Structure 1
Amino acid sequence: MKVVAFAGYSGAGKTTLVEQLIPAFKALGLRVSVLKHAHHRFDVDHPGKDSWRHRQAGAFEVLVASDRRLALMREYEREHEPEVHHLLAELSPVVDWVLVEGFRHSDLPKVEVWRADTSHPVCYPDDPYVVAIATDDASRLPQPTGLALLDLNAPEAVRDWLLAQGSRFEYQSETYLG
């Protein structure tokens, strides 16, 4: 499986780009998973549903499965920042690509998503894991770079660049998990 992270500040367009890349990869017959970092408390369950009631009763994990989908919810006993490599280990190894949204400080190869009309700083000068920049206006980048520049508004071109560079995104979990 190949893994690439899309990193950048809120409002840069990470979610939109990932959302557009999924069908672009699927159009080529590739299977895609997404790993999303959530900064705030979130819930995928609803009060009153059986799985919500099981979690409220104190279950460490609740796995809900049907003939169409599976959802695993795990309650951490104390707050901690999830480690991206442990989360990747939870995903099915049969996927072709994992698109990771967020985890800006991880050691995964990253495409930085940056919009010219924001006041957010860029990460690429100080982050050796940034391999490309997806932007709406490369001429307005605050620092020159030799990194690949991708058009944020052309998801098929971003996909094609990722495919052409595929070997650099090959993920070996044993490298990270021992």
Structure 2
Amino acid sequence: MTQAVAYEDAVDLLDADHKGVKALFIKFNALCDDDAPAEEKQPVADKICKELTVHAQIEEEIFYPAVRAAVGDDALMDEALQEHADAKAAIADIQGMSAGDKGFDDKVKALGKAIDEHVLEEREQIFLQARLSALDLRGMAVALFERKKQLQGARPAAAAKKKKVAA
């Protein structure tokens, strides 16, 4: 039996992720504008990185391969995957720093700008092509939702193991 999800379809779910991350970037930028201490900025940056990592993974595992097969636009999908690779490299840099480090704020802000550009292209091109294709986007929403929840559940355990090793 398939689980009901609170999204119209796969595009709606993915776009909800985009909006959630955008809100986090806005919060981070506001903290920077207010000269907030590193202790306030760090958890927001950490959440941005976690949310983007999960989002990229569900797109790469489920959504992108299905769209590629349905629409056959390899160049578009290859570009999206390259943008994900660039974002992952930026995320790794951010995760290797702390909010008090010189350049941290600029790195997070630059990631936000890159994500804004990626989201715009995704909405205008990939999502549009997906909606015009024969893909079962409603059914895919369930698979995306379940995988997202699985990855979110796995993240805290991995972080807890890392902290135990470091302690």
Which structure has the greater CA radius of gyration? 1
TM surpasses 0.5: no
Which TM-score band applies after superposition, normalised by the shorter structure?
A: under 0.3
Q: Name the structure, 1 or 2, with higher relative contact order (CA <8 Å, separation 6+).
A: 2
TM-score scaled by structure 2?
A: 0.26
User: Which is richer in helix?
Assistant: 2
User: Which is richer in strand?
Assistant: 1
TM-score scaled by structure 1?
A: 0.24
